[in-house]
């Protein structure tokens, strides 16, 4: 077991805060990516086509 000494609560809290925040960030990025892919698939399923050309083609 790691001995974190008298200030163990601060060390554990810092790692916990960083872990939760990074996990939330990754989760949000992945969820947003899935949402946009699903939205595009839905639009294409409705028969709405992409315009050829244009900056986002």
Partner 1 sequence: MTDGAPSVGFFSRLANPGHFLAWSRYAIAPLAVAAALLVAIGLWLALLGSPEDYQMGSTVRIMYVHVPNAWLAQLCYGVMALAALGTLVWRHPLADVTAKAAAPLGAAFTAIALMTGSLWGRPTWGTFWEWDGRMTSTLVLLFIYLGIIVLWRTFEDQARAGRVIAVFTLVGAVNIPIIKFSVDWWNTLHQPASVFRAGGPTMPASILAPLLTMTAAFTVLFAVLQIVSMRTEILRRRADSMQRRHASELSARPA
Task: Tell me the Cα Rg of the chain.
Answer: 22
Least CB distance from residue 56 to partner 1, whole Å? 5
- Find out whether 27 and 19 touch, Cβ atoms under 8 Å: no
Interface with partner 1 by CB under 8 A: which residues?
Answer: 2-8, 10-11, 13-15, 17-18, 21-22, 24-26, 28-30, 32-33, 36-37, 39-40, 43, 48-51, 54-57
To partner 1, the closest distance from the beta carbon of 42 in angstroms equals 9
Min CB(13)–partner 1 separation in Å? 5
Phi, psi of 6 (to 5 degrees): -70, -25
């Amino acid at each position: 077991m790691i001995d974190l000494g008298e200030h163990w609560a601060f060390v554990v809290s810092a790692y916990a805060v960083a872990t939760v925040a990074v996990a939330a960030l990754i989760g949000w990025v992945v969820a947003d990516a899935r949402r946009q892919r699903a939205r595009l698939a839905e639009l294409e399923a409705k028969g709405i086509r992409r315009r050829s050309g244009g900056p986002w083609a």
